[in-house]
């Protein structure tokens, strides 16, 4: 069972041996396949769309970071309210291929997902379209991907398939990575001089988007000489760019550390000051993990991730933003800290998390990568890239006072162009008069949730608001801040693959109903009153300083009037970092939050990834939250609605989902 490569006169071929698993909407069809039945492919079969990495490998599965993951692929897959796949089902089924519908691999950048599939015997995944980070993770590991459903019968028949079919249309670097069986093999060939990236031949006077300008400035023009910068790049140009910041958290560092160990013995991490590690995801897991999972040893496994990361940081002399010593919690969420303390306009930043684009609000090209790419970047300090097309998101008009960046991004998420995958793997440039009016914290909500749109990254032009952020938050000299921001905006005449127009003046508060961030509806169009049980205020998206200003704007007057959150509702507030917590303390917000009955948590991740207070414990529970994702099982078994800070806070006080009435404050 598996895959074999063969050399022929017409070129290399690949032959697959094993069964084909169709991930269908009908759970009974899946169970029949697991029991041994092979389905005849028929385009009328309703395949599951929008399969997230949370469903391929749920949070608790990722406490493993080795071949043990092969026992668990798809155990979180939800089909019509059922989860038909259990431990070892895929591994024991003899499957070599897995087929699904649109937008496979959306969500988290966790490389544990394709790694689990690979170790369960899957050697090729086929889907209508495949999310960028997930696809790259597959390629880096040597797992084949395709959008050609015609391969299904050829795989079943054991036909020899030309390897070129898996690289057709790919950039030269991706082609080499696929042919050589993964990123590490390619990098070793690059170091030996056997392969070299092509040099962009883009006309130097080409008008550039802001992202293209940054990528051109960080492009490795000559690897041997260490020369940086080319005059211009365009979509499709392929090469490597020098990174300014590389970061990972405890979910990913252990796997990346293991992969790093596969390099030659003399491999060293370059420029260690620009490598950051974070303990932010699982510090509060023990407060919510079930007794059943404790008994299965999962809490110990999760704790082992942090221990392995700490050991690696000590061995390598790397900066670790870790646990708090005085209470349960952490220094903060990786994205919050990178954005608040490290990211600078004009940089290239890579992180082991799909929400790395958070820092794009500052005029950086920041994007998520998998464990293999992070391990590779530790050694090379660069990362491969094929310049994506850019989609302009033009936000015009003056937004109503109770409409926020969260409402804007939820509106974009429900647009047909996005829902059909039109923005997948593209750069989103958030621009227009309404964006120019937003503070940088609010822009970070737009760039952060570009991940939910499936984009390569999100970015904003640097402007006077960016300068004010650097001066006010970082204490930077104004002249230096202006110098950093100078020229970091798109040229007139820059090319865009598509333009999404949004008139902010016509928006009203929006919530994404349970199941997917793209299921947005106006609050006033919800069917009937939606009573809530849990309110979770936090996450990288919803726990910045400006977010806290919004919560306080709702909770402050309520506290002064003696109003409290109903006893039927449990409300948690978790800041994004110690810096945000200190800001709230200085503003007097903490007292107001407590006065209305909210429970304050130390900074860090938590309920957003089913690993802290604020998770649901039963399917009947309803949560409203400021987080960025509401995929099935993401924050417990209950129903999660996503909303803006204003809507979340107003709903907490009302005990049901309502919009904040800014005129009634």
Q: Which among 94, 113, 71 is positioned nearest to 20, based on CA atoms?
A: 94
Q: State CA 284 to chain mean position distance.
A: 21
- Grade residue 66 by pLDDT with cuts at 50, 70 and 90: confident
> Would you state the pLDDT for residue 665?
45
Domain 510-664 in this protein, CATH class: alpha beta
The per-residue pLDDT for range 243-263, each reduced to its tens digit, is 999 999 998 999 899 888 876
- Grade residue 265 by pLDDT with cuts at 50, 70 and 90: low
**What stretches of 168-272 adopt beta strand conformation (E)?**
220-222, 227-228, 238-242, 245-249
- Grade residue 562 by pLDDT with cuts at 50, 70 and 90: very high
> Would you state the pLDDT for residue 398?
96
Q: Are 2 and 91 in contact (CB under 8 A)?
A: no
Question: Looking at the predicted structure, is the pLDDT value of residue 630 above 70?
Answer: yes
**What is the token pair recorded at 36?**
């041994």
Question: Looking at the predicted structure, is the pLDDT value of residue 418 above 90?
Answer: yes
> Would you state the pLDDT for residue 224?
66
- Grade residue 10 by pLDDT with cuts at 50, 70 and 90: confident
Which three-class secondary structure state does DSSP give residue 605? coil
The alpha-carbon radius of gyration of the chain (Å, integer) is: 24
Mean pLDDT (whole number) for 61-67:
87
Task: List every span in the chain annotated with CATH 3.30.499.10.
Answer: 510-664
User: What is the secondary structure of 276-341 as a DSSP string?
Assistant: EEE--SSTTGGGT--HHHHHTTHHHHHHHHHHHHHHHHHHHT-EEE-B-SSSSSBSB-HHHHIIII
> Would you state the pLDDT for residue 264?
60
Cα–Cα distance between 182 and 263 in angstroms, integer? Answer: 13
From residue 25, give the alpha-carbon distance in Å to each of 82, 242, 405, 633. Answer: 10, 43, 33, 17
155-158 LR contacts (CB < 8 Å, sep 24+): 155/16, 155/20, 155/96, 155/97, 155/124, 156/20, 156/38, 158/15, 158/16, 158/17
Question: Looking at the predicted structure, is the pLDDT value of residue 239 above 90?
Answer: yes
Residue 42: its H or E element = none
Mean pLDDT (whole number) for 120-126:
97
Q: Is 510 left (phi over 0), alpha (psi -120 to 50) or beta?
A: beta
* Secondary structure letter of residue 362 according to DSSP: G
Q: Are 383 and 373 in contact (CB under 8 A)?
A: yes
Q: Is 365 left (phi over 0), alpha (psi -120 to 50) or beta?
A: beta
Cα–Cα distance between 523 and 511 in angstroms, integer? Answer: 6
The per-residue pLDDT for range 274-325, each reduced to its tens digit, is 999 999 998 899 999 889 989 989 899 999 999 999 999 999 999 999 999 9
Cα–Cα distance between 25 and 637 in angstroms, integer? Answer: 19
Mean pLDDT (whole number) for 98-116:
89
φ/ψ of 555, rounded to 5, equals -75, -30
Mean pLDDT (whole number) for 195-206:
90
Residue 123: its H or E element = none
φ/ψ of 615, rounded to 5, equals -75, 155
> Would you state the pLDDT for residue 193?
83
Task: List every span in the chain annotated with CATH 3.20.19.10.
Answer: 2-186
Q: CATH for 389-506?
A: 3.40.1060.10
Task: List every span in the chain annotated with CATH 3.40.1060.10.
Answer: 389-506
Which three-class secondary structure state does DSSP give residue 613? coil
| Burial (Cβ within 10 Å: 0-12, 13-18, ≥19) of residue 11 | exposed
Question: Looking at the predicted structure, is the pLDDT value of residue 631 above 50?
Answer: yes
**Fold adopted by 2-186:** Aconitase; domain 4 (3.20.19)
Mean pLDDT (whole number) for 360-375:
94
> Would you state the pLDDT for residue 451?
94
Cα–Cα distance between 227 and 231 in angstroms, integer? Answer: 13
> Would you state the pLDDT for residue 611?
87
* Secondary structure letter of residue 75 according to DSSP: T
Sequence-distant (6+) residues with CB within 8 A of 209 are: 390, 427, 429, 490, 491, 494, 495, 496
Q: Which among 638, 635, 634, 636 is positioned nearest to 620, based on CA atoms?
A: 638
The per-residue pLDDT for range 140-187, each reduced to its tens digit, is 899 999 999 999 999 999 999 999 999 988 888 899 999 988 888 888
Cα–Cα distance between 373 and 140 in angstroms, integer? Answer: 7
Mean pLDDT (whole number) for 79-95:
96
Lowest mean pLDDT among 367-371, 512-516, 631-635: 631-635
User: What is the secondary structure of 426-445 as a DSSP string?
Assistant: PEEEEESHHHHTS-HHHHHH
- Per the prediction, the chain carries an average pLDDT of 94
Question: Looking at the predicted structure, is the pLDDT value of residue 392 above 90?
Answer: yes
> Would you state the pLDDT for residue 263?
67
The per-residue pLDDT for range 319-345, each reduced to its tens digit, is 999 999 989 999 999 999 999 999 999
Quickly count: other Cβ atoms within 10 Å of residue 551's Cβ: 26
> Would you state the pLDDT for residue 578?
97
The per-residue pLDDT for range 563-589, each reduced to its tens digit, is 999 999 999 999 999 999 999 999 999
Diameter of the chain by CA atoms? 82
The per-residue pLDDT for range 467-490, each reduced to its tens digit, is 999 999 999 999 999 999 999 999
């Amino acid at each position: 069972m598996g895959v074999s490569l063969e050399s022929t006169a017409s070129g290399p071929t690949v032959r697959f041996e094993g069964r084909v698993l169709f991930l269908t909407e009908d759970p009974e069809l899946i169970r029949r396949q697991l029991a041994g039945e092979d389905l005849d492919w028929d385009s009328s079969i309703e395949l599951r769309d929008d399969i997230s990495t949370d469903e391929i490998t749920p949070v608790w599965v990722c406490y493993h970071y080795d071949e043990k993951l092969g026992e668990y692929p798809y155990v979180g897959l939800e089909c019509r309210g059922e989860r038909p796949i259990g431990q070892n089902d895929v591994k024991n089924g003899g499957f070599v291929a897995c087929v699904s519908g649109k937008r496979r691999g959306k969500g988290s950048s966790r490389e544990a997902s394709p790694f689990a599939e690979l170790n369960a015997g899957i050697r090729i995944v086929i889907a209508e379209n495949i999310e960028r980070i997930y696809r790259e993770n597959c390629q880096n590991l040597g797992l084949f991907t395709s959008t050609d459903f015609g391969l299904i019968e050829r795989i079943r028949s054991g036909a020899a398939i030309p390897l070129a079919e898996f690289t057709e249309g790919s950039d030269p670097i991706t082609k080499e990575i696929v042919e050589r069986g993964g990123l590490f093999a390619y990098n070793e060939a690059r170091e030996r001089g056997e392969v070299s990236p092509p040099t962009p031949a883009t006309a130097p006077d080409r008008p550039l988007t802001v992202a293209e300008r940054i990528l051109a400035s960080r492009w490795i023009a000559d690897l041997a000489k260490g020369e940086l910068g080319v005059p211009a790049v365009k979509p499709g140009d392929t090469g490597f760019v020098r990174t300014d910041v590389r970061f990972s958290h405890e979910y990913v560092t252990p796997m990346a550390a293991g992969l790093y160990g596969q390099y030659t013995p003399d491999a060293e991490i370059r420029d260690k000051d620009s490598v950051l590690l974070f303990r932010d995801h699982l510090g509060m897991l023990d407060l919510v993990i079930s007794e059943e999972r404790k008994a299965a040893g999962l809490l110990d496994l999760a704790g082992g991730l942090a221990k392995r990361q700490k050991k690696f940081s000590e061995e390598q002399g790397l900066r670790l933003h870790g646990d708090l010593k005085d209470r349960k919690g952490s220094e903060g969420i990786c994205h919050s800290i990178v954005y608040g303390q490290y990211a600078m306009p004009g940089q290239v930043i890579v992180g082991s998390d799909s929400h790395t684009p958070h820092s794009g609000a500052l005029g950086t090209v920041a994007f998520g990568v998998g464990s293999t790419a992070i391990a590779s970047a530790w050694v090379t300090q660069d990362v491969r890239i094929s310049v994506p097309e850019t989609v302009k998101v033009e936000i015009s008009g003056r937004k109503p006072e109770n409409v926020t960046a969260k409402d804007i991004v939820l509106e974009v998420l429900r647009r047909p162009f996005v829902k059909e995958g039109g923005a997948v793997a593209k750069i989103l440039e958030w621009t227009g008069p309404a964006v120019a009016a937003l503070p940088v914290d609010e822009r970070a909500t737009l760039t952060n949730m570009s991940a939910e749109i499936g984009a390569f990254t999100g970015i904003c032009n640097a402007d006077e608001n960016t300068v004010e952020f650097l001066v006010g938050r970082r204490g930077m000299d104004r002249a230096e801040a202006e110098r950093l921001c100078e020229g970091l905006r798109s040229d007139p005449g820059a090319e865009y693959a598509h333009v999404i127009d949004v008139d902010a003046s016509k928006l009203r508060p929006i919530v994404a109903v349970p199941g997917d961030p793209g299921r947005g509806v106006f609050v006033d169009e919800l069917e009937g009153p939606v009573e809530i049980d849990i309110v979770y205020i936090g996450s990288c998206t919803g726990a910045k300083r400006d977010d806290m200003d919004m919560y306080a704007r709702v909770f402050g007057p309520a506290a002064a009037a003696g109003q409290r959150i109903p006893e039927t509702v449990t409300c948690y507030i978790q800041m994004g970092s110690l810096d945000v917590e200190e800001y709230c303390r200085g503003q007097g917000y903490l007292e107001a939050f407590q006065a209305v009955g909210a429970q304050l948590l130390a900074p860090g991740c938590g309920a957003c990834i089913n690993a802290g207070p604020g998770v649901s414990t039963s399917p009947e529970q309803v949560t409203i939250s400021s987080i960025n994702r509401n995929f099935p099982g993401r924050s417990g078994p209950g129903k999660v609605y996503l909303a803006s800070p204003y809507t979340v806070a107003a709903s907490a006080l009302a005990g049901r989902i309502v919009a904040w009435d800014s005129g009634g404050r």
